[in-house]
Structure 1
Amino acid sequence: MLRTVMLPTDFSDDCESILGFASGLPALGVKVVVLTHVVEASGMEGPIIAEKVDEVRDRLRTSAAVLEAAGLKVEVRVPTGDPFDTIVALATEAGVDAIVCGSHAKGLMTQLVAGSVSERLLRDAPVPMLLARFDLLKNQGDPGSLLKRFGEKVLMPTDFSLSASHAFTSAMELPKGLIKTLYLMHAVDPGLTGEKLRRAEEGAEFHLKNLQAMAQQQGISASVVVRRGEPQRAILEELDERRATGVITGTRGRNAIQEALMGSVSMTLLRQASCPVMIVP
C-alpha cells in the first residue's frame, strides 16, 4: 500500500513537471510526500553548509505548495552527504513506500544524481520507484492526470521471479478499484523451437492464469498474454498495442542472467515507455 512517498528534486527546469506529476499521487492512495534535496557538503565549512541548507529548505517549502494544493501532506527534508547513500538512508528512515522520479531518454534523473549513481538507485533502491519520462510530462496539460489514469490499463510483464512476485503483490495492494484492466504478460525466448517452445508457452500460460485468478478475486479484470520475442521489444509492442496507462514490473530476475535482463528491461521502460512505470525490487 502506498501511503508515503519520497520526491527528490534538483530545482532544475524539469522540477515543475515532476511536481505536477506528483500532484496526482492521491489517486494511488498516497497521503504524505517527503520532499527532499540532498546538499553535497563535501569541502564546505559549517556556516556555509547551514546557509545552503536554509536556502534549500525555503525553496522546498515553496515547491511544496503544489503538492499541498492537491491534498497531500508534505514533509521537507534537507539532508547532506552522498546523493545515493543519503537518498537510500532517508527512504529507510522516513519509512517511505516508494520514490517518485522523472526520467530522460538517456537514463534516470533524480536529485543531483547522474551516471553510475542513477543505475545504483534503480538496482538497489529498497522500495519501489515510480517514474515517468520528462518529455511525456511536458506534453501533458496536467501531468498529474497520468497518475489519475494509471490504473485504467496496467501492463505487468513478469518472469515469475521473486521480484516479479513482489510487483504483483504491490499491484494488488493499490486502492481497491484503481486497476480497471490488468494485462499479465510473459515473453518467451524467441530462440526456442519445437517441444521446448511448447513447454515454455504452456508453463507461462499456467503461471499467468494463476495470477489472473488472484487478480480476479480482487475484482480486477485480468487478461493473460504470452508473446514470443526479446523481452524489451515484446513489452514495448504490447504496451503500444494495448495503449497501456501504467506499467508495474520487477527489477530482479531469478538468476544472474535474468538479473541483467530485468535490469535492461527496466532501463528500456524508463527510456521508452509511453506511460508511468512502477519498478519494484
Structure 2
Amino acid sequence: MPFSKLLVGVDLTEISDAVVNSAKQIAGTFGAKLYLTTIIEPPMPVLSVEPDTFVEAEELSILLELEKELQKEAKEKLEKYASNLSREGYIVETIVEVGNIVDTILDLIEEKEIDLLVIGSHKKGLIDKLLLGSVSKKLINESPVSTLIVKGKQIDKLEKLLVGYDFLPSSKQAILTAEEIAILTNGEIFIVHADTDIKFAHIKGIYKTIEEKKKQILQEIVSDLNSKGISAFFEILKEPAIEAILEEIEKYNPDLVILGKRKSSTLKRLFLGTTAQKIVENAFSPVLIVRRKNE
C-alpha cells in the first residue's frame, strides 16, 4: 500500500511542526506529494447562513475581518512550510478553506484522491495524554483512507515498527504496510499479539491447539519477512490487548505503531474498534491506522 498523496492537517498550534515533519518523513519514504491544509471554522457558524438575523452589520463586519485575518495567517504559515519543503525536493500544495473541519477534510480526501491523512492527536500539545480531541476522533473513524495520528513524538525515522496483530484481515493489512515501510527504511518489525483466548483455558485441549496454531502462523509471517531481508520478531502476551500493546509500546519505544481498521459486517463500514481506540488515545508514539483501498 504505497502512499502517493498525503493530506496533512495543519491547525496553527504548537503541534503543527511535528505533524508536518512526520508527514515529510512518510512522503520522503514513498516519494509522495504533500497537501498541507488548514481549515478555518467560521467564528460563529450560524452566521454563514443568516447573518442579518443574529448580528448587526457592524458586528458582522468585525467577525468577517477576524475570519480574513485567520485565513491570512494560515496562508502565510502554510506557504512557509511549503517553501522549506520545496527546497528539499518535496512536491507540495497548500489549501486554506473556511468551513466545518471534518466535512471539509473528508471532501478534500475525495477531491484530491488522498490515500493517507496525517493529523495531530490533540490541540493541547504533542505529549498530551488526554482523550483524542473531538475533531481527531471523528476524522479517525470517518476517514475513508489510512490515517496517521501524530502524538507523543514526531516521526524522525522509521526504523522500529510495532504492529498490533489479531489474525483478522485488518491486521494482516497492517503487516503488509509495515513490510512496505521496512523494505524502504531498513526497519525492523515487532508483532504483538494479545492472547485473549486464554479465558477458554479450561478447555485445555482446544486452547492448546489454538495457541500452537497462532505461534505457527506468526512464525511463518516472521520467516517470510526475514526472507525479504526484514528483521522481525513476535511476542504473544497472555493479557488484555489494550494493556499488552500499550506496555510493549512503552518498552519498545517504536517510531511508529501500526494498527488495522476493522470492517463491521453489520454496519458495512469500517470503524476503529475499542482496543485500537484506546491505544490511539493512550500511546506515546505516532499511530498509523491502516485501511485497505476501495473498502
Shorter-chain TM range is 0.7 to 0.9
* Equivalent in 106, 112, 125 of residue 88 of structure 1: 106
Q: Distance in 2 between matches of 1:262 and 1:197?
A: 28
CA positional deviation for 1:63:
3.3
**Partner secondary structure for residue 79 of structure 1:** strand
Q: Distance in 2 between matches of 1:131 and 1:2?
A: 15
Q: Which residue of 2 aligns with 1:4?
A: 5
Structure 1 stretch 52-61 or stretch 200-209: which is displaced more? 52-61
Residues 204 and 147 (structure 1), Cα distance of their counterparts in 2 relative to 1, 3 Å cut: farther
Question: Radius of gyration: which is bigger?
Answer: 2
Q: Which residue of 2 aligns with 1:140?
A: none
> Is contact 2:18–2:150 with CA below 8 Å preserved after alignment?
no
Q: Which residue of 1 aligns with 2:129?
A: 105
Cα-Cα RMSD: 3.1
TM-score (norm 2): 0.76
> Is contact 2:174–2:259 with CA below 8 Å preserved after alignment?
yes
Q: Distance in 2 between matches of 1:263 and 1:31?
A: 29
TM-score (norm 1): 0.79
Deviation readout 1:236-262 (Å, 9 max, x if unpaired): 222233343321111326767xx9996
> Is 2:165 aligned against 1:158?
yes
Deviation readout 1:100-136 (Å, 9 max, x if unpaired): 122242233xxxxx42x43222122111112231xx3
Q: Which residue of 2 aligns with 1:203?
A: 213
**Partner secondary structure for residue 78 of structure 1:** strand
Question: Aligned ranges for residues 1-281 of structure 1 at < 5 Å?
Answer: 1-41=2-42, 42=45, 43-44=47-48, 48=64, 51=68, 55=72, 56-103=74-121, 104-108=128-132, 114-115=133-134, 117-133=135-151, 136-137=152-153, 143=154, 146-148=155-157, 150=158, 152-174=159-181, 176-189=183-196, 190-193=198-201, 194-252=204-262, 263-281=273-291
Query: How much identity, in percent, do the aligned residues show?
Result: 24
CA positional deviation for 1:97:
2.2
**Partner secondary structure for residue 173 of structure 1:** helix
Structure 1 stretch 224-233 or stretch 48-57: which is displaced more? 48-57
Residues 204 and 175 (structure 1), Cα distance of their counterparts in 2 relative to 1, 3 Å cut: closer
CA positional deviation for 1:216:
2.8
Q: Distance in 1 between matches of 2:120 and 2:228?
A: 30
Structure 1 stretch 35-44 or stretch 119-128: which is displaced more? 35-44
Residues 207 and 219 (structure 1), Cα distance of their counterparts in 2 relative to 1, 3 Å cut: same
**Partner secondary structure for residue 289 of structure 2:** strand
Number of aligned residue pairs: 262
Q: Distance in 2 between matches of 1:263 and 1:247?
A: 15
> Is contact 2:264–2:270 with CA below 8 Å preserved after alignment?
no
- Could you tell me which runs of 5 or more consecutive residues in structure 1 were left unpaired when the two chains were aligned: 109-113, 138-142
Q: Distance in 2 between matches of 1:84 and 1:245?
A: 27
Q: Distance in 2 between matches of 1:205 and 1:167?
A: 18
> Is contact 1:26–1:71 with CA below 8 Å preserved after alignment?
no
**Partner secondary structure for residue 145 of structure 2:** coil
Q: Distance in 2 between matches of 1:54 and 1:185?
A: 44
> Is contact 2:27–2:33 with CA below 8 Å preserved after alignment?
no
Residues 14 and 219 (structure 1), Cα distance of their counterparts in 2 relative to 1, 3 Å cut: same
Deviation readout 1:24-46 (Å, 9 max, x if unpaired): 3344324321001123344237x
